[in-house]
Structure 1
């Protein structure tokens, strides 16, 4: 499956139009994402509901982005992004999961980390901005479920490096510092799929960029006997600097 992801992703990059920035540009941002998780985790034939059975709540989110754009022809621009999510909960299993029986009170912890390396080209660069490219996403996720006061525990892990098509568009309102935009990383093949969608409004003053928006990550991925089919979404605020 991973070889198929690589093949499809590589084709997307080769198909991207070649363009480049007029000057060197560097930017960085950090954001707070108020995210919620829904969906299911599976191990073997066992299934648990992350929202209704585990009652997962957000403990901490880390989101940071760094990009570098240049005027060198043919070479892509570079963007790095880190997303780290830690959620925990206390609930009761409606069905058995691994060695844990149905009706057992449990505590659980979900850790999900994404490290993205994106190579992209600027297709349009005026009041309408359009970037196209390819993202290599290092996805690591671990769900641990433990019975309360007992010794039984189950661990569900998904670990993969996934190429994804990348597109970003922004529409500037001239002379106002205001703009609206969106970003998409996506891939789907053979029943597995990963989508990461962001929509935002931005205000820019001097070097400072402030964003308010909404982000949704959908992961439906099988790794051996373990599978995650989850959605993580919610509003975010972001502050960054662009040089």
Structure 2
């Protein structure tokens, strides 16, 4: 399986995402923000960082990158896409996912080992978890508060599209403690915490993030 990892100017977790892909035995394929070709990959990860310096809004410029011109229609057609932290912001700005990410309600950068509850274990990226399972992965953001209008939040809840939820203290003021969501089809997932920093013993608080990358591998194998 070949998983593309996009690098934007300002990406800083692209190598970590590629390392997580390799940890489950898949091939990590580097994709540049200026590419207009996904090079035949089976899935794509938009990594964390500060694409284009977070100017205007986080992810607001990245949504217009040439690579997004091919990624958006591919995702709409079913290509599995994962957005982590800044990648989540890019997916929301690109309207592949609903809602928006705004500055943390306490106005400070958060960097903690965060407990999450898996709310939806049926997406392309969460099938190796169990619904209700609690995991611990790092969280590091200054603009990680997930917001949406009440109708959108109710629809996400009602359709089972909340994928991850913060457990314990809400670290950034996200509405309804939402840490990650999916599209209607379940192939596009965005989350603010960093599973790619929890895939190997001794490097991160746990290895709880590994199942996210195993999930996409298993989906492709079964397909």
TM-score, normalization by structure 1: 0.25
Greater share of residues in strand? 1
Counting helix residues as a fraction of each chain, which structure ranks higher?
Answer: 2
Whichever of the two has the greater Rg, that structure is: 1
